[in-house]
Structure 1
Amino acid sequence: MEGDLFPFLTMVIVQLGYAGMNIISKVAMDSGMNPYVHVAYRQVFATIAIAPFAYFMERKTRPKMTASIFFQIFLCSIFGVTVNQITYFVGLKNSTPTIACALTNINPAVTFIMAVPFGLEKVGVKSKAGQAKVMGTIICVGGALLLSFYHGSIVDIGKSSIHWKYAEQTGTKSSINHVNFILGPILLIVSAISWAIWLIIQTRVSQKYGAPYSSSALMCLMATFQCVVVAFFFDHNLSAWSLTSNIRIISSVYSGIVCSALAFCLMSWCIERKGPLYVSVFSPLLLVIVAILSWALLEEKLFVGTVAGSVLIVLGLYGVLWGKNREMSSIYHIEEEAAEKKATPIYDLESLS
């Protein structure tokens, strides 16, 4: 029970952290912050936050760095940070927090499809565990698509009394009603695909380089240089890098420390113990949290499609988790029986007689 509880709680904490980032970052960008600059600052603060932990906690246990591992971490920095975060934040700026989180829910499907050829996941459609994973993934994606592209009538749940007044001043309330349904979703889909690629590569890194703090610090450092170059390419104005606004510095520090430094370490730890699919299927939980926070703080309206899609996503999430848990239990029992047979002494009856 303990072995299942800690990874579960870890991923729930990660999703809560990401939910706060979506709300705060949306407000920061609507206040005028360049999304490319936001991503660059995020990596700067993430590197500063995680570097001390990597040095002091793993200086005696850190494995030897090889050219192959260094190259894999470099690929992780490109797909898991630079491409993933730039496309996500630009997509978030051109959509709403709820739509952005909804479209990240193709992660389980993409990850599952990509993990099978690499031998990291098995389809196993003849087993109940495999059927649950496949059906759960389909239901998750179906719920996300329903939430994204079907609104329906407004759910009359009353008006939130705790809405964020600062969001009104930045124009966030009005921006969520003017969504670019072409640019936003396309960039968010690219972000989800790059995230799935990172999960696959990170699995290899975790297997060969058992130092999650060090690998995360190096990944964030590489991504810092990459994102700064991209930010200057799209915006040469130095005033865009100003952090005089409170919401800008809060968003940058929060995103860097909580959603990069802490989240990458926690997810790397979970990937090492549970595999990439286990981590990816928690993304639907983020959608539910953000939908509630967007309604409460930004006064984003909840529609029938939002509620129905959220229900499907939660059902699909538990379906995949049930299948994954049953699959791992079967593997554990097989390994346990094999170990018992190996430990049982075999006697030669003729020699005994």
Structure 2
Amino acid sequence: MFSDFLPFLLMVLVQAGYAGMNITSKLALDAGMKPLVLVTYRQIFATFAILPFAYFLEWKTRPKITKSIVFQILLCSLTGATGNQVLYFIGLAYSTPTIGCALTNLLPAVTFVLAAIFGQEFVRIKTRPGQAKVFGTALCVGGAMLLSFYNGNMIPVPNSGIHWNYADRMSQRNAGGQSNLVLGSILLIGSAVSWAAWIVIQTQMSKKFPAPYTSTTLMCFLGSIECGAIGLIAEHKLSAWSLSSPIYLISAIYTGVVCSALAFSLTSWCIQKKGPLYVSVFSPLLLIIVAILSWALLREKLFVGTAVGSVLIVVGLYAVLWGKDKELKLDEPIKGTEATTKQVNSFDMEMQPDASGNGTNRRASG
């Protein structure tokens, strides 16, 4: 019973870990930490955190690293590490943790669109699962547009009774700073597109290089160089790279170790046990946790546009997941039939008479 419950518990912990990242990162950004600096330190800490997994778990089974593999890992670093995280943290700096988590749920729909464009996914519009995926994608896009460009009235939610003085000071410090919900939302959508592109590239690369820890270590290492180069161009002052502030250091270590190394390892294990669809179902849980924490700790206000847009995105997410699940179940009998046909054909060939017409033409063994 515990073995069946363990994947559920781990995925809840992973989402809680991501929720903590959104809160600590927002506090660090409000305190003055630059997004590019935060992303660079995240890649550095993630590289050192994942390196032991790559060495001890894959050093015997790791395939040869060819020039083609290095090029694909470079593309993964540009999309999954640099593009995704730079856009996400800059978007988070301009918006709120709740909006950031809501737009993250666009990932399955955007991935479906890109995978269909590159021939990794079939629309099958004449089937109910195909229609569900298209309808779910449209809902996700509509929810994202509503959330990005419409606020509406503020929902009268009572203030939290929790008084976190540090969070209050950081919010007051950023009161006159940067805040642009439209720009932030557009950047967050761009982050989801970049992350979806990484999934498409990673899917192709994993077929030739099935060593996820090694590829992730190399991706984070290259991402450290890329983000560091971009960050140094944007931030010349050495003081901007200082981790003397406790919230800077906590946020950098937390995002790298907990949200890259640990979350990746736990998610990979759950995918092996339950499959990718099971893991995807937990995505909206992050939105709920962050919305509660943002209300309780950061005094975040909730607007009608944010709430309705978030609901549309979550409903669209589950429509896409439902369609994908039904397609997988429909494909299983077909694959089983194909495997049986191959076995029958193979058996028939083994029992064919030999050239002399005497006996059978069995395949040699040993």
Name the SS for the 2:117 alignment partner.
coil
| Aligned pairs (5 A) from 1:1-353 | 13-171=13-171, 175=175, 179-265=179-265, 283-344=283-344
Are the equivalent residues in 1 in contact too, given 2:148–2:185 (CA < 8 A)? no
Are the equivalent residues in 1 in contact too, given 2:102–2:310 (CA < 8 A)? no
CA shift at 1:274, angstroms?
Answer: 9.4
How many residue pairs end up in the alignment?
348
Once the two structures are superposed, residues 309-332 of structure 1 have per-residue CA deviations (whole angstroms, 9 ceiling, x without a partner) of: 333233222222111111111111
Are the equivalent residues in 2 in contact too, given 1:140–1:284 (CA < 8 A)? no
Are the equivalent residues in 1 in contact too, given 2:102–2:313 (CA < 8 A)? no
Name the SS for the 2:16 alignment partner.
helix
CA shift at 1:231, angstroms?
Answer: 1.4
CA shift at 1:169, angstroms?
Answer: 1.2
2:355 matched residue in structure 1? none
Summarize the Cα distance change of 1:10–1:216 in structure 2 as closer, same or farther, 3 Å threshold: farther
Which of 241-250 and 140-149 deviates more? 140-149
Cα distance in 1 for residues equivalent to 2:141 and 2:5? 25
Summarize the Cα distance change of 1:30–1:149 in structure 2 as closer, same or farther, 3 Å threshold: same
Summarize the Cα distance change of 1:240–1:256 in structure 2 as closer, same or farther, 3 Å threshold: same
Are the equivalent residues in 2 in contact too, given 1:212–1:265 (CA < 8 A)? no
Are the equivalent residues in 2 in contact too, given 1:176–1:300 (CA < 8 A)? no
Report the residue type matching 2:26 in the other structure.
K
Which of 101-110 and 188-197 deviates more? 101-110
Cα distance in 1 for residues equivalent to 2:42 and 2:165? 25
**Alignment identity in percent?**
59
Summarize the Cα distance change of 1:9–1:256 in structure 2 as closer, same or farther, 3 Å threshold: same
CA shift at 1:188, angstroms?
Answer: 2.3
TM-score (norm 2): 0.83
Cα distance in 1 for residues equivalent to 2:236 and 2:30? 20
Once the two structures are superposed, residues 219-260 of structure 1 have per-residue CA deviations (whole angstroms, 9 ceiling, x without a partner) of: 101111111111111111111122122111110001001222
Once the two structures are superposed, residues 2-26 of structure 1 have per-residue CA deviations (whole angstroms, 9 ceiling, x without a partner) of: 9x99887766554432222111101
Report the residue type matching 2:325 in the other structure.
N
Are the equivalent residues in 2 in contact too, given 1:281–1:320 (CA < 8 A)? no
Cα distance in 2 for residues equivalent to 1:84 and 1:103? 13
Cα distance in 2 for residues equivalent to 1:315 and 1:186? 21
Once the two structures are superposed, residues 259-314 of structure 1 have per-residue CA deviations (whole angstroms, 9 ceiling, x without a partner) of: 22234455667789999898778655433332222112111112233333333233
Summarize the Cα distance change of 1:243–1:20 in structure 2 as closer, same or farther, 3 Å threshold: same
Report the residue type matching 1:132 in the other structure.
A
Summarize the Cα distance change of 1:154–1:297 in structure 2 as closer, same or farther, 3 Å threshold: same
Any stretches of 5+ residues in structure 2 without a counterpart? Answer: 353-357, 359-366
Which of 116-125 and 166-175 deviates more? 166-175
Summarize the Cα distance change of 1:40–1:107 in structure 2 as closer, same or farther, 3 Å threshold: same
Cα distance in 2 for residues equivalent to 1:6 and 1:340? 35
Summarize the Cα distance change of 1:255–1:147 in structure 2 as closer, same or farther, 3 Å threshold: same
Are the equivalent residues in 2 in contact too, given 1:151–1:303 (CA < 8 A)? yes
Which of 31-40 and 265-274 deviates more? 265-274
Are the equivalent residues in 1 in contact too, given 2:42–2:252 (CA < 8 A)? yes
Cα distance in 2 for residues equivalent to 1:117 and 1:321? 18
Cα distance in 2 for residues equivalent to 1:48 and 1:308? 41
Are the equivalent residues in 2 in contact too, given 1:34–1:240 (CA < 8 A)? yes
Once the two structures are superposed, residues 133-180 of structure 1 have per-residue CA deviations (whole angstroms, 9 ceiling, x without a partner) of: 111222223233333333333333322123532111112686499621
Name the SS for the 1:247 alignment partner.
helix
Cα distance in 1 for residues equivalent to 2:140 and 2:185? 17
Cα distance in 2 for residues equivalent to 1:281 and 1:147? 21
Summarize the Cα distance change of 1:174–1:104 in structure 2 as closer, same or farther, 3 Å threshold: same
Report the residue type matching 2:24 in the other structure.
I
Are the equivalent residues in 2 in contact too, given 1:96–1:176 (CA < 8 A)? no
Are the equivalent residues in 2 in contact too, given 1:173–1:299 (CA < 8 A)? no
CA shift at 1:337, angstroms?
Answer: 2.4
Q: Which has the larger radius of gyration?
A: 2
Are the equivalent residues in 2 in contact too, given 1:27–1:172 (CA < 8 A)? no
Summarize the Cα distance change of 1:248–1:94 in structure 2 as closer, same or farther, 3 Å threshold: same
Are the equivalent residues in 2 in contact too, given 1:203–1:275 (CA < 8 A)? no
Summarize the Cα distance change of 1:121–1:172 in structure 2 as closer, same or farther, 3 Å threshold: farther
CA shift at 1:115, angstroms?
Answer: 0.5
